[in-house]
Structure 1
Amino acid sequence: MDILNIWNEFEKEINQHAYIKSFQWEKKAGIPFIYVTSYETKQKIEETIRKASSRVMRGKRLHSETIYVRESQDMYVYRHRFYVPQEKMFCCGNLCVDCIRLRS
């Protein structure tokens, strides 16, 4: 699974909405930021981001996190990332409580 493909699909999902004037994402200091210019309210934009993220992640072992950063007139800036959940994938032999062998 290539994360760049996920980002490209996410961008397509966001741009499908008529009320989104522009959408851009870029990494700064290794942290991905998204810039959304829209006619709609902040709540509507966040709902759109959440739904687009869930559509893109469907069937994959991914999670997303979106954190509001700032706004300027009709442009909203969010820190948004897709990440793989950190959980044990193998038994280390230390008899851990959350051992992969104890899953049903």
Structure 2
Amino acid sequence: MDIDLIWEGFINNLSNTNGIKSVHWKRVAGIPFLYVTADTVEKDELHIKIKMCAGQAMRGKRLHSETISVRTNGLNYVFRHRFYVPQEKMFCCGNLCPDCIRFE
């Protein structure tokens, strides 16, 4: 699974959403930031649109997303947005662990 392809699909979906002028992302110190310029969309509605577009990009994959608002300047928004793999066991290692996937 290539995370860059997921980011590309996510950015394409989000940029084609009504009420959003421009979207781009970049990594700063290893942390991905999402820069959004909106037409008339408010912060809460924008957060919902980001969540929906992230869901479309992650469909069929074992991923989660997290979006945290960093700052706002008029209709320019900055979010810390990341896609991550859940921290849970996905296979049995054979060591009889108490949280083994076989016991679910």
**Normalised by the size of structure 1, how large is the TM-score?**
0.92
Deviation of 1:86 after TM superposition, in Å, equals: 1.2
* Other-structure match for 1:21: 21
CA offsets 1:25-76 (integer angstroms, 9 cap, x no match): 0000000000000021001110110000111111100000000101011101
State the SS of the aligned residue for 2:90: coil
Q: Which amino acid aligns with 1:88?
A: K
Match of 1:63 in 2: 64
| Alignment correspondent of 1:83 | 84
* CA–CA distance in structure 2, aligned partners of residues 89 and 60 of structure 1: 13
Q: Secondary structure in 2 aligned to 1:51?
A: helix
Aligned length: 103
TM-score when normalising by structure 2: 0.92
Report percent identity of matched pairs.
Answer: 55
Partner secondary structure for residue 48 of structure 2: helix
Q: Hey, what does 1:9 align to over in structure 2?
A: 9
User: Partners of 2:91 and 2:61 in 1: how far apart?
Assistant: 19
Task: Please state whether the residue corresponding to 1:22 is helix, strand or coil.
Answer: strand
Does 1:95 pair with 2:96?
Answer: yes
